[in-house]
Structure 1
Amino acid sequence: MGKVNYKIENLGHELLHGIASNIYDAEESLNIATEISKYSEEINNSRYKEYFGTQQRIFNRHAVLSTIKLFDRRKDTISIITHQKKIENIIDQLIFQNEQYLLKIIDSWTIFNDFRKLNKSCLPKDIFKIIKKNLPNENKKETDGLSEILYKVKFNRDKFIAHSSVLKINGDKNFPKKLEENGTKYSINELKHLLLFAKKYVSVSGMLFNFFYEVDGDYLLSNEASHTKENLRLLLSKANIIEQTERDKRLFEYDKQISK
């Protein structure tokens, strides 16, 4: 094993400010893109359709890029792949801070179904052996569902986002539900499957650093990532693109009062 030139606390920092932050970026962007899609009919009948169409494309692309970052295999990046390798190098120095809480998390993660049936211990080396075995890898797309999804998402990233190919999705009221080119397509739900894997990884790894990312099935930053979506809905309401609710009217009146 080569020389380890990083500290344990650095891995906790990478987990929170690198991986969890990218998950937040992906979820926030995905929420905004799908919210625009939700009101696509109303938006297309307004004078602002070009603006929101552009915003939708931007946020969808950002969601894809942030998701791909989570599974980047390059050594100089902060991703689940590189983070897991660093943990593997110092696994014997690590312990889970709250094993009872950890059990709740792995009980809800399907990759641990067989592991729990065997009633194995919750030693970090055993837990991360399972995680390593199930890491999505676009090069193994024929043998694993998540790996196939990652391949399709990465294909679209490489061909249409990172490079100059044109992705013909403008005007599709179902955008961004499907992307398709040359037989490779993925749904928003499939993208969410990748994000769920990432969130479970942070939840389990966080127990090494006393970082509680998941509480009773809710994730620390996922609720915050939905706030911008609500702001967008209020903006559409303010612009009279969608119908104003009574709650909207009260919020607008409140804004007037505090701005005086």
Structure 2
Amino acid sequence: MAAGVAAPEPWSAVAPRKKTKSSARRRPRRDERRARGPQAEPEADGEAVLRRLREAEEDLRNSDFCSSALETVTQCLGKQLGQLQGLTEALGRLALSSSLGPEEPLATSTSPVTCVCYGLGNFATSVTARSQLAFMLLFLERCQEGKRSIQGQPTVFYMPHCGTALYNNLLWSNWSVDALSRVVIIGNSLQCIEERLLTKILHKNYPYIAKIVKSLEEFPLPQTPRYTDTFNDTSVHWFPLLKLQGLPGDLWASREEPDYQDCEDLEIIRKQTG
């Protein structure tokens, strides 16, 4: 996991765009509605937002939650990188022609770990979103990360409180033994999603969660009263290579793209066609 930490880009305030009649009537997005809740704050300039973020980061760093949660994340990432390193050593410098393409090299322990963030709310006005962002920054600091890499590199997807369809889409996009063995997901508990939904609904609307939930390992983040709303139902998920290799081959051959045509309470915006 050793990789140089990239220097952060400077913050700058951006002037808001002029309102139009059509934009004034649009329905507020889910993140905007969340920001108007009890923890919402007024808009602030760039310097004020940066100051609030630093304060949230320091509060989180000094909390009982932080050290335990970071340990959970780094242990899972260590296991994932360990299995990839073991595979690399076993194969030497040979490529797996059956599962790896020319643009998908085997990862090694010296490879940087990519971190992709989805679904974060407006951290300029939301205390919850700001704490979630602060935790990601502390996690990157702990793991000595800071680079966005090409395909084939170990990747952490940080997506707290995203819609179930987004997790399903992520699994579909990485639906192979090689890809999933490189993935760590920090987000809503997939096991809890399985328990809450009717089996028929889970398999119909979110088939990739249904197919893989028994073959992953999940570790919940610790719960403390202070961060109950921020990290409730949040777990770290990783995919042991041996479990993935033990699944039937026809499971991986089925890669139909999710469409969610008849899915109620969908929490993502579908691309309009036609």
TM-score tier after normalising by the smaller chain length: under 0.3
Using CA pairs under 8 Å that are at least 6 residues apart, name the structure with larger relative contact order, 1 or 2: 1
Which of the two has greater strand per residue? 2
TM normalised by structure 2 equals 0.27
Which of the two has greater helix per residue? 1
In our comparison, the structure showing a higher alpha carbon Rg is 1
TM normalised by structure 1 equals 0.28
